[in-house]
Structure 1
Amino acid sequence: MLFISWLARPSSEYQASCLKHILPESFNYEEKHRNATEKAPFSNQFSEELGKDGYTLSHSRVRIGSGLQAYQKGKQLLNKWGHFQLRWAWVESSTCIKVGQKFCVCSQELVPWILMPLQILYVNDHKSSNDIHPSPSYNTVGLRNVPNIPNLKAIYCFGSGTLQGHLLAGEERFSVELDEDDNVWYEILSFSRPAHVLSFVAQPYVCLKQKIFAQQSTQAMLKAISERGV
């Protein structure tokens, strides 16, 4: 099952019709890895387990501003999918950020648009430093023994799991963090593996597109916050 729009940018109605064909809770990856990104940083053992199961870890973390105002605006951008409004890849900005919400990532590959369904697994909005740990995901991408990682004053994040019909299998997490030095960070953390013959054959291309997305998504966040006077 693969959802494609050959002639035009997929309308919201077409996306909704595609999602109707997906059964509830029809994730295309193992239940034992469900919600794993919420539990980052991963242990070495779990990271090795993901690797043995064929998953590739991807990570990007960039400072996008400073101060509470920048953090709040970063949250607003995530809530409006401002980080996912690229020319070639986007999510409907009206999509609600809530647990159980299904949505499509629309990605243009040469001519056709491919619709890739996901479901939001969790939404976390922590504001008390008492229940905030050092910034998530450092241990998931080979960054061992990183010195002077500050505790976080606040973090807002949500994670999504891939559904049947997605070219990949795995999870992706987006977060905005405010650390104790008032730096604001935008972070993308994901693990994925091919779930379709197309993504298997073109795996190097898929990895390249993930890197391009992380770069352009970060640039979009930086530009949006800058334009708002932060």
Structure 2
Amino acid sequence: MFPPIYLSLLKFDSKQQRLICDAGLEKGFNYNSSYQGLTKTNSKPPGFWDQGHIRVKVGKGRETFEAGKSLLKKWGQFQLGWAEVDSGTPVQVESPVCVVAKTLFFWTANPLKVMWKNQSLPVCSWVLAWSLISRGGALLT
């Protein structure tokens, strides 16, 4: 059976996004659970995975790190006009996340889940990272 596809001519509102995430919770993950956490441990992913590691230097120093961290905690990387995540969505492990995006004439909604979070401040670098995983019913666009 195919997972549901969430399409709308209008952008999904917050209530609809919560309902879509709830439906995603009921469906579970759409991949083999033995792969859960692979990106956290830097284990070699299966050959069919396309794992992105994009790094961009946006500045240096603690002030820049704190500004970037603040933006990421509000899902700023998704606030693009044609795609977004509700900025009130917490970045917490097991937290549901709904990414809405406009593709041609339709808005899509993708229920996801935060799988892990790492916020560390080692001597040489600062790190803020987390991983999202598709929920049942996710249409990855």
TM-score by length of 1: 0.56
Q: Percent identity?
A: 29
Measured on the aligned residues, the alpha-carbon RMSD in Å equals 1.7
The structure 1 segments of at least 4 consecutive aligned residues displaced by more than 4 Å after TM superposition are: none
User: Does structure 1 residue 163 correspond to structure 2 residue 135?
Assistant: yes
Aligned length: 138
Q: Which has the larger radius of gyration?
A: 1
What code does the residue aligned with 1:167 have? L
Partner of 1:114: 108
Match of 1:77 among 71, 78, 86: 71
**Structure with greater proportional strand content:** 1
Task: Select 1:67's aligned residue among 61, 65, 87.
Answer: 61
Pairwise CA distance, 1:94 = 0.6
Shift of 1:4: 1.4
**What is the aligned partner in structure 2 of residue 30 from structure 1?**
32
**For residue 103 of structure 2, what is the amino acid of its counterpart?**
E
Query: Match for 2:15 among 13, 16, 36?
Result: 13
Does residue 107 of structure 2 align to residue 86 of structure 1? no
CA deviation after TM superposition for structure 1 residue 22, in Å: 2.6
Q: Which runs of 5+ in 2 are unaligned?
A: none
Task: List per-residue Cα deviations over 1:19-77 (Å, max 9, x = no partner).
Answer: 2223357111111211222122x4xxx24xx11xx222223111111111001111101
Distance in 2, Cα, partners of 1:57 & 1:154? 22
Q: TM-score, normalised by structure 2?
A: 0.89
Gap change, CA 1:25 and 1:153, over 3 Å in 2: farther
Deviation by residue 1:159-202 (Cα, 9 ceiling, x = unmatched): 1111011124xxxxxxxxxxxxxxxxxxxxxxxxxxxxxxxxxx
Higher relative contact order (CA 8 A, sep 6+): 2
- Residues in 1 aligned to 2:27 and 2:65: alpha-carbon distance in whole angstroms: 32
**Could you say which residue in structure 2 is the equivalent of 1:57?**
51
* Higher share in helix: 1
Do 2:24 and 2:112's aligned partners in 1 also have CA atoms closer than 8 Å? no
